[in-house]
Structure 1
Amino acid sequence: MPQDFLIIGGGVVGMAVAYGLARRGRSVTVLDGHDDSLRASRGNAGLVWVQGKGLAMPRYAELSLHSSMAWPEFAEELTKRTGIDLEYEHCGGVDLCFDAKEAQARQTEYRALYAATPSLTAVRWEYLDREALREQLPGLGERVHGGTFSPHDGQCNPLYLLRALYAACLTLGVDYHPATPVTGIEASTTGFTAHSPQGSFSAERVILAAGLGARTLAPPLGLSGQVHPVRGQVLVTERFPPSGRLPTPQLRQTASGGYLIGDVLEDAGYDTGVTLETIHRLGQRAVQIYPELAQARLVRSWGALRVMTPDGSPLYEASRSCPGAYNLSCHSGITLAAFHARELAEAIDTDRLATIHGDFSGARFDVQATG
């Protein structure tokens, strides 16, 4: 008997949707790449973040807020199913500003977004100067001007999230195939067949959650392939005692005690390497934030590629030329995981993706994609 859904890509986005569909009783096969595939799931900081999302697209901000509010129940559900602690904390977060100009620009942007959009008036945020921030960020350096605080923000362990999604999917009967890169997808009157060096796999419907692989896999199905790589570089320090500091996009202390330092966006093509220049710059900024880190030892650094659409907002689309084919791309897979596993999975299952989330279609930047 053919599967209901074939999902191409086993990252956080693909596995969250697989989990959501399996919870709804659908049969799902997931085809994943090799361990050395270009995986955005390795390049994030584990932030469940609302503030600043959707500055150019208020609907994206709405989804971020909605998903953040659903995260506590989502995390609890996954932990109950799998026994895996996601190290999720809904503690609030701070996005730092390093000078008055940056602070003013940030506040102007937030007021324009949150005050002018009726559906976002529930978003709570405030600008705090350096002295006020020191209560949430003990030991904050003198070279930080201040930052925007929002109680909607939080953090988790992204690797534990992915592990929990795998475990939950397996308990629900998802047929997961690692090391099975898809080379092409064929549409027919009865469904779709994905071809790989490990064989062919068929299902009534197909979902692309292939990250940068959508560049080649999406267009033949009448879907947008307009995604491009943006490199991030990350540093991790040795472990320190818990500090109680709120997370920031610039750095956060993990549950194990190390500081995760990042927040760079580089146009480096498909190069996942690290550079001394960027490592030095990240280290300098970390010391500006917490001067005590000047004595910290760095234990690891790595680079990874994020998946970015032309406007930076998520891409959710259904094909008109190949009904039953869907394409999902975003660089907020952690924040939106709760939404992906619930409302997005439901919209796909009921084939209402284009109706409910049509404004996220690739048609906004790709004339080919019209679903």
Structure 2
Amino acid sequence: MRNDYDFAVLGGGLVGAATAYGLAKLGLKVLMLDEGDVAKRASRGNFALVWVQNKGLGMPAYATWTRRSSDAWVPFARELEDTAGFAIHHRRTGGYHLALTEDELARRAAMIARLHNQPGVAPSEVEVLDGDEIRRRLPEAGPEVAGGTFCPLDGDVNSLKLFRALHEGFARLGGTYRSEAMVDVIEPGAGGFALSTQAGRFSADRIVLAAGLGNARLGAMVGMTVPVRPVRGQLIVTEKTAPFLDAPVSTVRQTDEGGVMVGDSQEEADSYDGMRQGVMAVMADRAVRMFPRLGRLNVVRTWSALRVMSPDGFPIYDESPVHPGCFVATCHSGVTLAAAHAALFAPAIAAGSPPSEFDDFSLRRFHVSAAA
């Protein structure tokens, strides 16, 4: 008996939607199963950077993967806008990280050097700049800025429009989306996978676990231990103001709509995703020291969201060792890696098992036996 779908993607956030979009582009019959608006989505709470400059220390393959996704973003954004029918406001202007002390700047420069001294990592395109050069390039930067780094590969996007465009594009490519369809049971079989959900029962030849923190629960059903944990991030958004920042900074960015976002906090968390006033105070203080004009703006929104983190902080891509055809994809860089998930990862799993280039991202790295 033939299954309902070629692929079912379990999860409708940025990772799931980008993967489902990429599979649908290949002409496959694809189902996306999603919790719906009850889900605590990192996809709706992120800082919306498409970022390269500090990614991959400790895993050269991640530096390469991030660079490949950044390079794929320009054609991906153009194609997605054409498919969905509206702009997502991606820009690759280059991006900055600012330091408020000489010690911060020295530590940042040393980290960038270590990253690019790893075997297999492309030569660095990151510039280390003093405070005067930062103020020449970013005239609104304040006198306390000691310097920073700049990478021409970095940029940002309107992540809410990206999220909507992936879903709209998926639908226009013939994909099927089911909301309020959290998967309760996965039943592997010789001919594929049966999925029992709150919205009914479905079947697919192959499946992708892309449910963020939910991958831990889903993975256990198909012989995979997926070690993910929540890390809280908080964001501040100001009222709209005249354009003053034409390139994103790692902790401050002005959106295409004029508001300014301040972010980049990281706290180990449980399932609670509330706000922490002390953390917000530190974020706001540093942002105003970087760009004093922010002190004159009203804050209109604050929120927090939960990043999906693996034990080492790097993505996980793998196939179940006991149920071939069941893949897992999880990461905390769903915006940056959206282009790679749609244009590279989706075709790779459609062709069969993940190729050797994904070996470094395998779950096997968390299950290495200690030497006797």
TM-score, normalised relative to structure 2 = 0.95
Local SS of the residue matching 1:6: strand
Letter paired with 2:214: G
Whole-angstrom distance in 2 between the partners of 1:216 and 1:337 = 23
Match of 1:179 in 2: 180
Match of 1:64 in 2: 66
Whole-angstrom distance in 2 between the partners of 1:56 and 1:343 = 23
Whole-angstrom distance in 2 between the partners of 1:39 and 1:215 = 16
CA offset at residue 219 of structure 1? Answer: 2.1
Local SS of the residue matching 1:339: helix
Letter paired with 1:359: D
Which string of whole-angstrom CA distances, capped at 9 and with x for unpartnered residues, describes residues 30-69 of structure 1?
Answer: 0001312121112211100000001111110101111111
1:43 aligned residue (37, 40, 45)? 45
Whole-angstrom distance in 1 between the partners of 2:136 and 2:76 = 29
CA offset at residue 367 of structure 1? Answer: 5.7
Match of 1:360 in 2: 361
Which string of whole-angstrom CA distances, capped at 9 and with x for unpartnered residues, describes residues 186-220 of structure 1?
Answer: 11111111212221111011100000001111022
Q: Is the 8 A contact 1:226 1:366 kept in 2?
A: no
Match of 1:291 in 2: 292
CA offset at residue 119 of structure 1? Answer: 4.1
Letter paired with 2:143: E
Whole-angstrom distance in 1 between the partners of 2:136 and 2:96 = 12
CA offset at residue 118 of structure 1? Answer: 4.2
Q: Is the 8 A contact 2:60 2:118 kept in 1?
A: no
2:8 aligned residue (6, 25, 40)? 6
1:113 aligned residue (112, 115, 127)? 115
Local SS of the residue matching 1:113: helix
Query: Cα 1:44–1:304, aligned 2, differ >3 Å: closer, same or farther?
Result: same
Gaps of 5+ in 1: none
Letter paired with 2:228: V
Counterparts of 1:179-218 in structure 2 under 5 Å?
Answer: 179-218=180-219
CA RMSD of aligned residues (A): 1.4
Local SS of the residue matching 1:213: helix
Q: Is the 8 A contact 2:135 2:142 kept in 1?
A: no
Q: Is the 8 A contact 1:316 1:327 kept in 2?
A: yes
Local SS of the residue matching 2:231: strand
Whole-angstrom distance in 2 between the partners of 1:272 and 1:318 = 30
CA offset at residue 166 of structure 1? Answer: 0.7
Local SS of the residue matching 2:239: strand
Whole-angstrom distance in 2 between the partners of 1:264 and 1:170 = 35
CA offset at residue 113 of structure 1? Answer: 2.0
Whole-angstrom distance in 2 between the partners of 1:363 and 1:353 = 14
Local SS of the residue matching 2:306: strand
Match of 1:242 in 2: 243
CA offset at residue 356 of structure 1? Answer: 3.1
Q: Is the 8 A contact 1:32 1:177 kept in 2?
A: yes
Whole-angstrom distance in 1 between the partners of 2:28 and 2:179 = 20
Whole-angstrom distance in 1 between the partners of 2:92 and 2:367 = 37
CA offset at residue 179 of structure 1? Answer: 1.4
Q: Is the 8 A contact 2:140 2:244 kept in 1?
A: no
Does 2:300 match 1:263?
no
Whole-angstrom distance in 1 between the partners of 2:121 and 2:357 = 16
Match of 2:36 in 1: 34
Q: Is the 8 A contact 2:245 2:253 kept in 1?
A: no
Bigger mean CA offset, 112-121 vs 336-345: 112-121
Counterparts of 1:309-324 in structure 2 under 5 Å?
Answer: 309-324=310-325
Local SS of the residue matching 1:94: strand
Whole-angstrom distance in 2 between the partners of 1:367 and 1:194 = 31
Bigger mean CA offset, 220-229 vs 328-337: 220-229
Match of 2:140 in 1: 139
Whole-angstrom distance in 2 between the partners of 1:50 and 1:97 = 18
Local SS of the residue matching 1:344: helix
Local SS of the residue matching 1:120: coil
Q: Is the 8 A contact 1:347 1:356 kept in 2?
A: no
CA offset at residue 354 of structure 1? Answer: 5.1
Bigger mean CA offset, 106-115 vs 178-187: 106-115
Match of 1:279 in 2: 280
Whole-angstrom distance in 2 between the partners of 1:119 and 1:233 = 31
Letter paired with 2:27: G
Q: Is the 8 A contact 1:184 1:195 kept in 2?
A: yes
Letter paired with 2:142: G
Which string of whole-angstrom CA distances, capped at 9 and with x for unpartnered residues, describes residues 240-274 of structure 1?
Answer: 11114321121100011100111001112111111
TM-score, normalised relative to structure 1 = 0.96
Whole-angstrom distance in 2 between the partners of 1:170 and 1:228 = 31
Whole-angstrom distance in 1 between the partners of 2:197 and 2:319 = 23
Does 2:115 match 1:81?
no
CA offset at residue 147 of structure 1? Answer: 0.8
Local SS of the residue matching 1:311: coil
Q: Is the 8 A contact 1:94 1:148 kept in 2?
A: yes
Letter paired with 1:274: M
Match of 2:24 in 1: 22
Which string of whole-angstrom CA distances, capped at 9 and with x for unpartnered residues, describes residues 117-158 of structure 1?
Answer: 34412x411111111011332221222211110000001001
Letter paired with 1:317: D
